[in-house]
Amino acid sequence: MEKKLILDGIVVANHVKNQLKNQIDQLALQGIQPCLATILVGDDPSSETYVRMKGNACEKLGILSKRIHLSKDITTDDLLAKIKELNEDQSVHGILLQHPVPGHIDERKAFETIAIEKDVDGVTSSGYGQTAFGFGEYPSCTPAAILEIMDYYKFNAEGMHAVVVGRSPILGKPVSALLLNRNATVTTCHSHTRNLQQILQQADIVVAAVGKPNFIKGEWIKEGAIVLDAGYNKGNIGDVDYESCLRKAFAITPVPGGVGPVTISMLLKHTVEAAEKSLRLKGRTNS
């Protein structure tokens, strides 16, 4: 079988982190430590694990992780008040509200309360709009990770047909916009798409973001496609049927060890960049 290119997310994530170390050292010389505030509402075990992983990743790099754990019974108004408090805290550079929140909370309203300059997870509608227009500073972290992998392996999307399967506001839609801004021809598919298999067979780049384990089959993709699997389902299973897609693809991300580690590194990168920006703004104010 022809040798396939396995797109190693751990290698890409380490590359990003190594670049960040110098930026963090430079900030330290100015008396600044990048700080990410993570808000967890309730006691969902998966969410607790994700928040802990993100906190540990921060601390390993020298980014301060400020963890706020709120009761599952908190009201929307009280959650908004906490977010506004963090917006005003000059020592906090990034704010992450762990999804999902309990059903009685207005999640979208909570996301929209995060200040745009601290929206390092790319969840506000303003951040999404800026991403779509091509000047967003902090796109959603998983779409940013997909482009980071493409950049690391020197894949140029220009003129290629990219098919994105999924249209969530923090993954499918923003990654479609990012690829379009790189001059790819983008088709965004979803649960109402007809003839999905035929559309995928035309794709040079496949982005799987549908949230269904082993959903995309090898016979659905064309020979030599680049397959980026952003799915993560129970049992460490992605959205593509890895073995069958591996036989057809030129390059593919594994699950785990593909897009996931790079997503976390993008969160760290955005937090460091937000700290750098706050320092520049502070310098202008003092001059």
Q: What amino acid positions are annotated as catalytic residues?
A: 54, 98, 121
For residue 285, how many other CB atoms are within 10 A of its CB? Answer: 7
All residues at 6 or more sequence positions from 206 whose CB lies less than 8 Å from its CB, including other chains:
162, 163, 165, 200, 216, 221, 225, 226, 227, 228, 240
Q: φ, ψ for residue 252 (rounded to 5)?
A: -155, 145
C-alpha distances (whole Å) from 23 to each of 30, 57, 116, 137 are 11, 16, 22, 17
Determine the Cα–Cα distance for residues 207 and 160; give it in Å rounded to an integer: 13
For residue 192, how many other CB atoms are within 10 A of its CB? Answer: 6
Residue of 147, 226, 214, 218 lying closest to 180 (CA atoms): 147
Determine the Cα–Cα distance for residues 51 and 69; give it in Å rounded to an integer: 10
